[in-house]
Amino acid sequence: QEISMAASVLRCSAAQGVLPAFGRNIRILRAAPPLRQLSTDATGFVVLHLGYVPDILEKRAPYRQAHFEHWQPWVKTSQLRLAGAMVPPSDGAMFVFRGASVDAIEEHAKDDPYVKAGLVTSVRVRPWTVVLGADLCPKE
């Protein structure tokens, strides 16, 4: 519990631009949830990685708008937090979700227009243990 609280203090203090002074007594007023809860329950993060064919930039144009529209419902619910292609080279894309299940993401990815058009060579969906970042700090 102490490690979890210390990690939370560091995580949120760093996000706010302040680091606690080490070697001094730090009074923790509010305990954050243990890190394992942040990464494994419904509030945890999940990453989707799509591997692309080598010539994706030349082939994607007819499917690109439909690809964006396919994921838009996840953006509207705030479950899809970030998404974009890896560059250079453009060999894949990464999507970061919060509060979405691995199974639901995998199922939705099967119907992605890029997948159906044969532009995706691999689909990997993995829970992501996030231990540092502003998204983990309590709203004040």
Reading the block at residue 33, the tokens are: 């949830």
Q: Is the per-residue pLDDT at 131 higher than 60?
A: yes
User: Could you report the per-residue pLDDT of 33-92, keeping only the tens digit for each?
Assistant: 444 444 344 448 999 999 999 999 999 999 999 999 999 999 999 999 999 999 999 999
Amino acid at 10: L
Is pTM beyond 0.75? Reply is: no
Q: Are 112 and 120 in contact (CB under 8 A)?
A: yes
Residues 9-37: pLDDT tens digits? 455 554 444 444 444 444 444 444 444 44
Q: What is the pLDDT of residue 138?
A: 65
Amino acid 41: pLDDT: 47
SS3 of 26-81: CCCCCCCCCHHHHHHCCCCEEEEEEEECCCHHHHCHHHHHHHHHHHHHHHHCCCEE
Name residue 35's amino acid: L
Q: Specify the pLDDT at position 47.
A: 97
Residue tagged 């082939």 (tokens) = 59
